[in-house]
Structure 1
């Protein structure tokens, strides 16, 4: 059984972002969430940018940076 992770960039503004992580398995052809939602909030600062770079794939990180870059 493969666990798939879904990441949602929620409430993305020029100042902050909330990253929602959910894990799913496929059971009888349907995706079923396992475990609870995990949400982390980040602000547009040097330290949080570094953490996001380490935790997110390049596509998600670039999406956040597209909004945060001025």
Structure 2
């Protein structure tokens, strides 16, 4: 297992929105999703998080199919 951490941040969101709170969270991903992200095939431009009950969910995050 690699000790490499991948951090993705939507810098554009800070210019378009007033950010009230910040949360640090991890995602549970499959192996193919991790490989796609490492290849730069993830799009977070329209992504946002929302609480459903006590859990935080990511919406509109697109990870392309690994090839």
Larger CA Rg, structure 1 vs 2: 1
TM-score after normalising by structure 1: 0.28
Going by fraction, where is helix more abundant, 1 or 2?
A: 1
